[in-house]
């Protein structure tokens, strides 16, 4: 059973988060970074999946500075998308990265954790996971269909930990030209691993949604879990 908690952040604020624990401890902690639709049922389901694999799952609410408790359904129609994109336009990404650095530090000290921590992000969260691979001391990072990564390739030359990038071959938000730039820039980087899912579209790992692609998600999750076990322990 998951639980709500808050994470202290710089400046004295408190960022809400969702926590799922595995059956056994100690375990590594995976900080899950949500899509623009917030800490919704899909993210809670992903947290349960991470916990079932034997890791602690911590899901910070990235929208808390604008509106707490955002949990949108991407299949609910235009109002949900309009709300999500309005939040994205209002995002202070530097503040979000600072919040996530605080979340990673908090994760290292969680009771039941083993001191190791990684990030796994989706869409917007995938972009932030890539930033954390440069700016944090976390042990590993995974980006699922991260948007805007082609614009931060120079920064990604400074990778500090393993970064696994899942690219959806039919991603309408990351067009083929952008995919080629990412692959060309990172395919020989020692700490980067790129897995292209040729037939999958954006948000292929969003279980229960219209965008879900069970085969691509299974392949991606297997590779993700192999990295998490290697870097965070069993």
For 87-95, the CB contacts below 8 A with 24+ separation are: 87/36, 87/38, 87/63, 88/36, 88/124, 90/66, 91/62, 91/66, 91/124, 92/65, 93/128, 93/131, 95/65
How many residues are given for the chain?
Answer: 234
The H or E element that residue 231 is part of is helix 214-232
Q: What is the dihedral of CA 128, 120, 171, 208, to 10 degrees?
A: -130
What does the block give as tokens for 24? 């056994």
DSSP strands (E only) in the chain:
3-8, 14-20, 27-33, 56-60, 113-122, 140-144, 163-170, 192-201
- Could you give the residue numbers annotated as active site? 123, 171, 202
d(CA 227, CA 231): 6
The residues, any chain, with a CB within 8 Å of residue 164's CB and separated by 6 or more, are 140, 141, 142, 143, 193, 194, 195, 223, 224, 227
């Amino acid at each position: 059973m998951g639980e709500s908690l808050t994470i202290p952040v710089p400046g004295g604020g408190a960022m809400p988060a969702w926590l799922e624990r595995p059956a056994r401890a100690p375990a590594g902690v995976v900080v899950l970074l949500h899509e623009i639709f917030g800490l919704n049922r899909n993210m809670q389901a992903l947290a349960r999946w991470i916990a079932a694999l034997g890791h602690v799952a911590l899901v910070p609410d990235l929208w808390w500075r604008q509106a707490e408790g955002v949990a949108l359904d991407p299949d609910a129609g235009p109002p949900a998308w309009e709300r999500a994109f309005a939040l994205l336009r209002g995002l202070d990404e530097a503040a979000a990265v600072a919040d996530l650095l605080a979340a990673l530090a908090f994760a290292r000290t969680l009771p039941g954790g083993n001191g190791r921590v990684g990030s796994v992000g989706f869409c917007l969260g995938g972009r932030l996971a890539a930033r954390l691979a440069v700016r944090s001391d976390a042990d590993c990072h995974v980006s699922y269909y991260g948007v805007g990564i082609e614009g931060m390739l120079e920064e990604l030359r400074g990778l500090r930990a393993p970064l696994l990038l899942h690219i959806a071959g039919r991603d309408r938000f990351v067009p083929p030209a952008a995919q080629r730039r990412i692959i060309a820039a990172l395919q020989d980087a020692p700490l980067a691993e790129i897995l292209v899912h040729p037939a999958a579209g954006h948000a292929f790992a969003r279980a229960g949604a219209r965008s879900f692609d069970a085969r691509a998600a299974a392949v991606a999750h297997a590779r993700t879990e192999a990295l998490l076990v290697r870097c965070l322990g069993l």
